[in-house]
């Protein structure tokens, strides 16, 4: 850090101006009073004292605080933020306008510091994401290339090998398709391009539909799969297709991380708060406590070898998280290793038709005729 200037130029300019004014006034007064040379000398001496006093006062009250603000801005430009601790932090610390100025400099510096940290986190996340995508794409691409080369090298003449290798090529091609679709969904969710079609729908029917779609996979694994909505469950409000996607993803994971003879249940219960609590409950292998905070991160896998063997992309729970956030909801996870897991979220229950009619009637009575129109969530 460069040494501070020997003189504060601003203080010196103010002091010279004050001393000059005092000197002129002193000499003029001495001449007017007929004091002669002695009076003029006394006036000049008074001007010198006034100049020194002004220099000291301005240096302490003005120049030093301006110099602190200048050094703070210079350090912030060089990404050094140690000086921020020396600046006023609240309005109660302000003595005058200069303190208010240095406080604003401090706020700007702290905002810049947080923005730099955020950009560094984003850059780190971007590098990690690109590395993960490259790795996930490389695996099936290399597999497809390897199987194709083997076929071209002579395996085409062997019917048994040919069929098996073509099936593997198809399997890896479908894995690539799934990965690109999931990446597209993630991109649309994070950029706000995915618009939800919110409406009231029958959640119990969606639970049954998910179970029907996954029943063959559950049977192949020897895992029981059932939908158990509470009796008299009211309709819920949301995007039916996206909620089904969330439930299917959670149920697939529950099947994947279960053992033969285990069970997976899709439940829904109406809460006193007017929300319907939806849960996917399994008695599978469970999730370690240290993995729970990162469970919805892109490409994060608790068991990497098992996930890849099952054909997972590592994006499913990240998509679930974003879809629920688009519904203004969150994914809650409870799990114990060896005892299973529960993934749950809430959806608002739709108002009963009678209640909706009563509300509309009251609104019409209070506010007069209501024009034709509608609202879109």
Domains and CATH numbers, the chain: 9-114 (no CATH), 128-191 (1.10.287.130), 199-355 (3.30.565.10)
Alpha helical stretches, state H, the chain: 9-33, 36-58, 64-77, 97-152, 159-191, 203-221, 240-256, 304-309, 316-326, 353-367
Say which residue the tokens 């009963």 belong to: 352
How confident is the model at residue 114, as a pLDDT? 80
Per-residue pLDDT, 365? 39
Which neighbouring-strand residues pair with 225?
264
Helices assigned H by DSSP within 192-315: 203-221, 240-256, 304-309
User: Phi and psi (nearest 5°) for 162?
Assistant: -60, -45
Q: Can you tell me the distance from the alpha carbon of 377 to that of 241, in angstroms, rounded to the nearest whole number?
A: 16
**pLDDT of amino acid 377:** 33
Among 259, 254, 209, CA closest to 229: 209
- Provide block-wise average pLDDT over 10 residues at a time, the chain (377 residues): 53 70 67 61 72 70 71 72 62 64 73 79 69 72 85 79 85 81 76 82 95 92 94 93 92 90 94 93 88 79 56 74 90 90 94 48 38 33
Q: What pLDDT was estimated at residue 208? A: 94
Whole-structure pTM value: 0.56
Cβ 278 vs Cβ 347: under 8 Å: yes
The per-residue pLDDT for 62 is: 72
How far is it, in rounded angstroms, from Cα 342 to Cα 264?
10
Strands 224-229 and 263-270 come out as parallel
pLDDT at residue number 281:
94
Q: How far is CA 339 from CA 55, 85, 104, 304, 331, in A?
A: 77, 50, 55, 20, 20
Q: Which strands make up the sheet holding 263-270, listed edge to edge?
A: 224-229, 263-270, 275-282, 340-348, 332-336
The pLDDT, as a whole number, for residue 295 is: 82
């Amino acid at each position: 850090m460069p040494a501070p200037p020997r003189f504060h130029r601003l203080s010196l300019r103010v002091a010279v101006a004050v001393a000059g004014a005092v000197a002129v006034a002193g000499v003029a007064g001495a001449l007017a009073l007929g004091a002669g040379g002695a009076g003029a000398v006394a006036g000049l001496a008074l001007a010198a004292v006034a100049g020194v006093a002004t220099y000291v006062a301005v240096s302490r009250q003005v120049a030093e605080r301006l110099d602190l603000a200048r050094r703070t801005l210079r350090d912030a430009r060089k990404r050094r933020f140690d000086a921020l601790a020396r600046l006023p932090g609240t309005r109660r610390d302000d003595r005058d306008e200069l303190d208010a100025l240095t406080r604003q400099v401090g706020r700007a510096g702290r905002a810049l510091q947080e923005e730099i940290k955020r950009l560094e986190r984003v850059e780190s996340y971007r590098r990690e994401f690109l590395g993960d995508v490259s790795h996930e794409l490389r695996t099936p691409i290399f597999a497809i290339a390897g199987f194709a080369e083997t076929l071209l090298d002579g395996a085409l003449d062997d019917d048994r090998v040919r069929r098996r290798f073509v099936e593997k090529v198809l399997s890896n091609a479908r894995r690539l398709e799934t990965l690109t679709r999931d990446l597209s969904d993630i991109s649309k969710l994070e950029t706000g391009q995915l618009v939800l079609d919110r409406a009231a729908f029958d959640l119990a029917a969606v639970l049954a539909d998910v179970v029907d779609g996954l029943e063959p996979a559950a049977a192949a694994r020897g895992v029981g799969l059932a939908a158990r909505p509470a009796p008299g469950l009211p309709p819920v409000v949301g995007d039916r297709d996206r909620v089904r996607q969330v439930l299917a993803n959670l149920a697939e994971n529950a099947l994947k991380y279960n053992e033969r003879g285990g069970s997976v249940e899709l439940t829904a219960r109406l809460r006193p708060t007017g929300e319907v609590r939806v849960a996917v409950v399994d008695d599978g292998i469970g999730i370690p406590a240290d993995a729970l905070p990162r469970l919805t991160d892109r490409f994060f896998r608790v068991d990497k070898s098992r996930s890849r063997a099952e054909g997972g992309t590592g994006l499913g729970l990240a998509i679930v998280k974003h879809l629920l956030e688009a519904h203004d909801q969150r994914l809650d996870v409870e799990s114990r290793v060896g005892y299973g897991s529960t993934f749950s979220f809430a959806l608002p229950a739709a108002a009963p038709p009678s209640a909706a009619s009563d509300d509309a009637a009251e609104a019409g009575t209070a506010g007069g005729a209501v024009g034709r129109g509608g609202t879109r969530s």
